[in-house]
Amino acid sequence: MKLILLKTNIVEGLFSVERATGINTNLPVLKNILLSAQNNKISITATNLELAITHTIQGKIIENGRAVMPAVLFGSVIKNLNSERITIETNENTVRVITDNYEATIQGGNEKDFPIIPHVSDVKNSIRVAVDVFLESLGSTIIATQYSDIRPEISGVFFTYSNEKLTFVGTDSFRLAEKIISGSGVASTFDEVSFIIPLQTAEELMRVIQKSDDEVTIHTDQNQVFFITKTKFVTSRTVDGRFPEYQPIIPKSTENEISINRQELLNAIKLVSSFSGRTNDITISVGENKKFIEISSQEGSLGSSVYKVPSKVKGEIFSVVFNWKYLYDGLRIYSSDEIILGVNTPDKPAVIRDPKEPSLLYVVMPIRK
């Protein structure tokens, strides 16, 4: 193999794939990347067997071929080069990196030992989503997702398509975020399909997919899912298990509704949280005049703090305790100036919603005192 590449393009490709390399010492080949030049396409691939990322880069192919090399070493060499134009040559398992004033020889591995990356040639159906809509939806729901050894079925983001709607859902059992894409925002040849992608996969998709990729095409089979853009190919195992039936926990109505400026509420929570201590608890209360809410916290060794925020309140006087981080995260996924916080009794879920954005919903459980 012989290639002429630009440093900028190689660095971009390495950034996309580097976190998919494996750390399993029993399979040292997973610490490598695969550089391939075939079918007029140059690509860099890394995998840890659970997740694989391929990034296509621009360059001149003088001779086709494939080379496996240590990801960390190759990345260190490339990123520290001063030259923009780089020639890469291979001879059996040896890789040469050449510029006008520098040359390095890297001892690579046997490309036949590199894991086979699944392809989508046998997967006919697909879902297509505009990349900005995809990133917004995934970002809105990943925020409510955490890894769980006990409940692996919630250790990822749930995708489900039916009735011409693609729904993203994330939950850690204390909070839940749901985003629905419909209409011109999504196109699919599936009638219905559901799968869960691992949290790591969701995080990597947020990191490597860029708005310039235009569109994301999703394929899935029994235990694999594929995300394809014009420069990226991400394949991942899906999470085993059945995502919980979450619809029943979403309140159909709320007894009390607070209409409030989102940014001012964010500022209040952030300031008051300094006194929340280890439990991260803050209290939201409504006074008798219902013209403002109080956000407060206290910790015996620290002191106390109260912040009054003007608001419009419908309902009764109440006082509810929340984990401030969960409430703060839920507010951040919205973009409107005004949001509505719907609150029931202290033992029932509260809901954050935006009347102008009904496709996005965030549910958070209060802390029982």
Alpha-carbon distance of 37 to 56, in angstroms, equals: 10
The pLDDT value recorded for residue 122 is: 67
Question: Do 295 and 211 fall within a single domain?
Answer: no
Domain end residue (candidates: 66, 84, 113): 113
Question: Do 108 and 150 fall within a single domain?
Answer: no
1, amino acid identity: M
User: Is residue 70 predicted with pLDDT exceeding 80?
Assistant: yes
Domain end residue (candidates: 65, 89, 113): 113
pLDDT digits over 309-354, tens only? 999 999 988 899 999 999 999 999 999 999 999 998 888 999 999 9
Q: Which residues of 89-122 are buried (b: 16+ CB within 10 A; e: fewer)?
A: bbeeeebebbeeeeeeebebbebeebeeebebee
Q: Name which of 179-193, 243-257, 276-290, 317-331 the model is least confident about.
A: 276-290
Question: Do 230 and 276 fall within a single domain?
Answer: no
Based on the structure, what is the number of domains in the chain? 3
The pLDDT value recorded for residue 79 is: 96
Question: Do 148 and 201 fall within a single domain?
Answer: yes
Residue 120 falls within a domain, yes or no?
Answer: no
Residue 369 falls within a domain, yes or no?
Answer: no
Q: Are 3 and 87 in contact (CB under 8 A)?
A: yes
Residue 304 falls within a domain, yes or no?
Answer: yes
Q: Which residues contact 284 (CB under 8 A, 6 or more apart)?
A: 293, 294, 295, 319, 320, 321, 322, 341, 343
Helix residue spans in 104-218 (DSSP H): 131-142, 199-208
The pLDDT value recorded for residue 24 is: 64
Residue 28 falls within a domain, yes or no?
Answer: yes
The pLDDT value recorded for residue 120 is: 81
Alpha-carbon distance of 173 to 196, in angstroms, equals: 16
Question: Do 204 and 170 fall within a single domain?
Answer: yes
> Residue 154 maps to which CATH number?
3.10.150.10
Q: What residue numbers bound the domain in which 285 lies? A: 250-364
Question: Do 274 and 213 fall within a single domain?
Answer: no
User: Is residue 194 predicted with pLDDT exceeding 80?
Assistant: yes
133, amino acid identity: V
Residue 243 falls within a domain, yes or no?
Answer: no
The two three-digit tokens of residue 19, written as one number = 């976190």
Question: Do 176 and 202 fall within a single domain?
Answer: yes
Q: What 3-state DSSP class applies to 183?
A: helix
Average pLDDT for 252-281: 93
Question: Do 299 and 336 fall within a single domain?
Answer: yes
Question: Do 281 and 177 fall within a single domain?
Answer: no
Residue 118 falls within a domain, yes or no?
Answer: no
CA atoms lying within 13 Å on the CB side of residue 24: 10
Q: Are 169 and 181 in contact (CB under 8 A)?
A: no
Residue 154 falls within a domain, yes or no?
Answer: yes
Question: Do 100 and 200 fall within a single domain?
Answer: no
The pLDDT value recorded for residue 301 is: 80
Alpha-carbon distance of 203 to 194, in angstroms, equals: 19
pTM across the whole model? 0.92
Average pLDDT for 22-37: 87
Residue 244 falls within a domain, yes or no?
Answer: no
Of the candidates 133, 188, 196, 150, the one whose C-alpha atom is nearest the C-alpha of residue 170 is 196
Question: Do 50 and 139 fall within a single domain?
Answer: no
Question: Do 180 and 273 fall within a single domain?
Answer: no
Alpha-carbon distance of 214 to 318, in angstroms, equals: 47
Q: Which of the two residues, 85 and 213, has the higher pLDDT score?
A: 85
Domain end residue (candidates: 180, 208, 237): 237
Q: Are 65 and 90 in contact (CB under 8 A)?
A: yes
The pLDDT value recorded for residue 168 is: 98
Average pLDDT for 243-270: 94
Alpha-carbon distance of 230 to 188, in angstroms, equals: 18
Alpha-carbon distance of 286 to 265, in angstroms, equals: 14
